[in-house]
Amino acid sequence: MSALARHLRARVRLFALINAGAVVSWRGGEVLAAHTQGLIAGAGFVLSGIGLALWIVSAIILTGQVLHARKAGAFDLFRESWARQLHRDALVGSAAGAVAGYALALALPGTGAERLTLPVAGAIAGFLAAWVALDVRRDGRG
């Protein structure tokens, strides 16, 4: 693997992890803001805003890195067989994240549409984190 491919894959991994954390903080902050009072609700609102902004920025940069890697011929996250296998294997992490989000949503009092987003946020974060972990293990370096 070329130095460019290693560099681009490392950047894709970094921004995938940032994206996973941003989704969880965005949606978790929304739940905190909706289901708590006082200072914690304010902190949840701030956490949600920071998470949303970070998610938007990291999604744009992640997309740019993937497209740059594809254009440079370093790797293709959509058509190469190792990438498709990685995506299939990372679905286990997605399911685990969805279950964790669902369990957290059940533990919250009351009802609310923002509670329903916790399993989705958990699934997204679980998929991205599992994908990065599997890619690092496949590549043999961090």
Give the count of beta carbons closer than 10 Å to the beta carbon of residue 109: 7
In tens, the pLDDT along 84-112 reads 888 899 999 999 999 999 998 888 876 67
**How many CA atoms are closer than 13 Å to the CA of 64, on its beta-carbon side?**
8
d(CA 7, CA 5): 5
Q: Please give the DSSP secondary-structure letter assigned to residue 45.
A: H
Q: Residue 127: pLDDT band by 50, 70, 90 thresholds?
A: very high
- Give this prediction's pTM: 0.86
**Where do the structural domains in the chain lie, given as residue ranges?**
3-139
Q: Please give the DSSP secondary-structure letter assigned to residue 110.
A: S
